[in-house]
Amino acid sequence: MQKNVTQKVHGLIFFSILFSMALVLIGCGPSPDDYIAPVSRIVKVYKSPGFDSYRLNKIALAPMMNDDTTDFGTLYSTNHFLNSLEQNFEKTKFFIPELTESSDPDSLIPWIAESIEEVRHLDLKYFSDTDLGYTVLKDSADAVFIGLVHSVSAKKGNSFSRVSRRFFKSTLISCDFTYYLVSLKDGRVLLKFDMRGEEGFYLNLGVEIYPELDTAISNGIDKIIEVLPFE
């Protein structure tokens, strides 16, 4: 009997020590508000009730509004979208319009997207008068993807590494953006995705490193690919 009591006492002492150590570790770690982890997601999706009645054999992918801080502009995320579309939907032809060097798609896309929001469809007459619209229609596309960045934010915090089981100082970049799929037959919005794209990096030797915006957008695009109603 005495042996059992002694074992129980030792067990309680051992548990108390472990519990105290856990409290110390929690107290020394970052607060919940400091935890950051990239989570890209679809915020809202719209699908036209008449989507299935449209034949979409060839779809243009308009260059997205300038999506990073490099000289390459939209190339990374736009090409990422194109490559993902081609890899996942082989029955449909996708292409990025070849605009002339004098064209300025970044100034056109916000205007086009704003007009779509105002009247809930794309005015094909005005669209055809732009360099982007002329090129897309000339190539006989059935529809066009149009993307627009709304807001970008950066945050510092701590991320947990499962490999080393430690918290590291890190940065997180978030981007809210929208992609429309618009019919070039009648200007109807067939699909609309309101997105949140995120990417995070560890801080390296105390130097602040912020993820590139187009990487965050590409992570959001991956979520779109998962639910696109194409064959």
In a domain, 7, yes or no: no
**In a domain? residue 3:** no
Kindly state the tokens that stand for 91.
């029955």
Q: How far apart are CA 209 and CA 12, in angstroms?
A: 47
Three-state secondary structure call for residue 16: helix
Distance CA 201, CA 73 (A): 21
Q: What is the pLDDT of residues 90-133, one digit of tens each?
A: 999 999 988 765 555 555 677 788 788 888 899 998 888 888 88
Residue 115's domain spans which residues?
Answer: 31-227
Q: pTM above 0.85? A: no
Report the percentage of the chain scoring pLDDT > 90: 41
Q: How many domains does the chain have?
A: 1
Asked whether residue 16 is domain-assigned, the answer is: no
110 assigned to some structural domain: yes
Report yes or no on 125 lying in a domain: yes
Residues whose CB falls within 8 Å of the CB of residue 47, separated by 6 or more in sequence, listed in order: 190, 191, 229
- The answer to whether position 19 is within a domain reads no
pLDDT tens for each residue of 130-183: 888 888 999 999 999 999 888 889 888 887 766 667 777 888 899 999 999 999
The token pair that represents 45 in the structure block? 């999706």
Average of per-residue pLDDT values in the chain: 79
Residue 26 covered by a domain: no
